[in-house]
Amino acid sequence: MSEYAIRPLGAATWDAFVHLAEKHNGVWSGCWCTWFHPACAEKGESPEGNRAYKERLVREGRAYAALVFDGDVAVAWCEYGSPDELPNIYHLKEYNAGLDKAPDYRLTCFFVDRNYRRKRVAAVALEGALDLIAKAGGGVEETHPQDTRGKTTSVSFLYNGTRSLFEKAGFSYERSKGKNHCVMRRTVAPS
């Protein structure tokens, strides 16, 4: 991680987040990393509405991400938050059927600048998010990555990383969810 710096998403880093998202057309057809947040009037109406919604959440302190910086430029992020802050997950009915206890945090979305892909920057973002969660008091982290079973997969399907990425970070496999995703957890101690 020495060549990169981690900074939390917030008012001070909003412009860097915007620059990265705009470079990639608002990310995934203008989502602006809002899909997992609760529904509202702005969300999903347009890329501009998604951007405004994300900015409002960030300025209100209700949207969290570890931003990876190369110098002064944001090159990646890992979004995280409580299940209340990020309630929209794929295969929710199946997920809820196997749920014993809700996690403290969900890690829901990664994005890496196209010029930084395949350079382990997602792993840097993940470690940054876990460090920020530890500083916030720690707890049980949960994620729902793609279980690629060692096969090469298009990055357009890897919005939440791969099972192997999380295994390397100490997450344990809990169960499958949907066709190619799984539920994984790790407990992070407070720092």
In sequence order, what DSSP letters do the residues of 67-112 get, joined into one string? Answer: EEEETTEEEEEEEEE-TTTS---TTHHHHHHT-SS--SEEEEEEEE
Quick one: pLDDT at residue 1?
A: 45
Cβ atoms 30, 54 nearer than 8 A: no
Cβ atoms 76, 129 nearer than 8 A: no
Count of beta carbons in the 10 Å neighbourhood of residue 112: 24
Higher pLDDT, 2 or 78: 78
Q: Name the domain count of the chain.
A: 1
> Could you give the percent of the chain with pLDDT greater than 70?
92
For residue 142, what are the domain limits? 5-188
Higher pLDDT, 186 or 161: 186
- Which of the four pLDDT bands, split at 50, 70 and 90, describes residue 40? confident
Residue 148 predicted with pLDDT over 90: no
Overall average pLDDT of the 85-100 stretch = 92
Quick one: pLDDT at residue 157?
A: 53
Instruction: Give CA–CA dist 99/107, Å, rounded.
Output: 16
Residue 161 predicted with pLDDT over 90: no
Instruction: Give CA–CA dist 110/123, Å, rounded.
Output: 10
> Could you give the percent of the chain with pLDDT greater than 90?
78
Q: What is the CATH number of the domain that holds 34?
A: 3.40.630.30
